[in-house]
A = this chain, B = another copy of it.
């Protein structure tokens, strides 16, 4: 160290912002320097900055956002039954195929989603084999639609056809329903990852023929099950309720078995039905998703609100919906890859881009937004326990409020971050954290890992501009 630097040492204390070059130079000369990782909002894009400016500190927006949170908090989500999609999902027909994420054509679907469509057409007996199904899938006879646009959410490919089984969750406060495909279990050969082998089709048939009437009778006998209460408890039992559902699934088993025992079915049937639930540590994910959908749909369409009501991906694009811009508008960007842990023998090169409607959990303050409740999950999705808490703390910077119904003991029972605010995402450059499964990029090869990802910033940029345009229009 030079004499001159020594003399200055105790007087020179640098806080550097922006470019790192100056910071590094100061350090080289043995002087203390703290670097603040700061970028201008919206990466300095003038149009975004102008939109952000328009939308900041507007009391009408604050009030609208408060109203969205109030709707979310006052929603009582109740599991009322299980049913064939065609019997309950609005707009469903024998030739409709629902899928995860924003709308997409068959051609653009990733491998696993195409596989799931083939499986669905075979299951529905619209095709007798994969070749016939592929031809049909490419024809005009099949109508593709986004689950989200039909009060429904589906994990991974999210492919749901007429006779597939969905959980029905009613938002008793606001009267609307959310639906989600019953979770069929883990492993490589499952329908939602695009497999259509005999085991997959047999399981779908069994779910429809035996499981459905028995479970539905039990749910009816229960008078409905309060899903929000289950989630709240599970969060205190180390679930984050997206990729860790061990506690919520255990609680559901405890809730439903007494009513199964009160149905008219013989013990061997009850054993098969209850074991299907008992053997699946992710069983409750589908119920959590349907409940979150019912909760967020009620919060959709609040004029001026900048809060996100859907985060969803189809393996090609990521799409978001924003309350103030109505339930039909998607804002999209390219789907990202997932950073995580792969099952033995697989790597990022085998992975399909981010896919599935399950990020409805994060939209409701669960999953990545409550990771601090689920330290054990790092064994499944990667990262460290310290990451799990720091992710959650970051999410408070981009949310409008906290979910008082879902709390985090390790943060002194603070509510989970709730209500992603498009403005805050652009302002901070922090993107929502999502925990998720990773599908093989080819159809029929199932799950190959799990990890953590984020949406592309583009979705939020498009939404911000649209919000600003809508707001200006309303002001005129």
Contacts from A to B (Cβ < 8 Å): 236-238, 246-247, 250-251, 253-254, 257-258, 261-262, 267, 270-271, 274-275, 278, 375-376, 378, 384-385, 409-410, 412-413
Whether A258 contacts B238 by the Cβ 8 Å rule is no
The residue in chain B whose Cβ has the minimal distance to the Cβ of A384 is B412
Contacts of A251 in B (CB 8 A): 250
Structural contact, B376 and A409, CB atoms closer than 8 A = yes
Out of B237, B257, B261, which one reaches A246, CB within 8 Å? B237
Tell me if A258 and B274 are in contact (CB < 8 A). Answer: yes
In the bound complex, residues from chain B placing their C-beta under 8 Å from that of A253 are 250, 253-254, 257
Establish whether residues A278 and B250, one from each chain, have CB atoms under 8 Å apart when the complex forms.
no
- Partner of A262 from the list B250, B258, B271, B376 (CB cut-off 8 Å) is B271
Q: CA–CA, A410 to B253, complex, Å?
A: 27
Interface class of chain A by DSSP: helix
| Cβ B271 vs Cβ A261 within 8 A | yes
Inter-chain contact B236/A376, CB cutoff 8 Å: yes
25 A–B contacts, CB within 8 A, in A order: A237-B247, A238-B409, A247-B247, A247-B250, A250-B250, A253-B254, A253-B257, A254-B278, A257-B257, A257-B274, A257-B278, A258-B271, A258-B278, A261-B267, A261-B270, A261-B274, A262-B267, A267-B270, A375-B409, A375-B410, A376-B409, A378-B409, A384-B412, A385-B412, A410-B410
Q: How far is the CA of A258 from the CA of B270 in the complex (A)?
A: 9
Residues of chain B within 8 A of A257, CB atoms compared: 253, 257, 274, 278
Number of copies of this chain that the complex holds: 2
- In the assembled complex, the Cα of A251 lies from the Cα of B409 at a distance in Å of 22
- In angstroms, Cα B336 to Cα A154, docked, is 56
- Kindly state the separation between the CA atoms of A375 and B411 in the bound complex, as whole angstroms: 9
How far is A246 from B247 in the complex, measured between Cα atoms in Å?
10
Name which of A238, A270, A274 has the most chain B CB atoms within 10 A of its CB. A238
Cα A274 to Cα B253 with chains together (Å)? 12
A265 to B413, CA, bound (A): 44
Q: Please indicate the chain B residues that have their CB under 8 angstroms from the CB of A376 in the complex.
A: 236, 409
In whole Å, how far is A386's beta carbon from the nearest beta carbon of chain B? 8
Q: Give the distance in Å from the alpha carbon of A254 to the alpha carbon of B283 in the complex.
A: 13
- How far is the CB of A300 from the nearest CB of chain B, in Å? 33
Could you say which residues of chain B place their CB within 8 Å of the CB of A410?
375, 385, 410
Q: Which residues of B contact A274 (CB under 8 A)?
A: 257-258, 261
CA distance A244 to B275 in the complex (A): 26
Q: How far is the CB of A18 from chain B (nearest CB, A)?
A: 34
Q: Which residues of B contact A409 (CB under 8 A)?
A: 238, 375-376, 378, 385
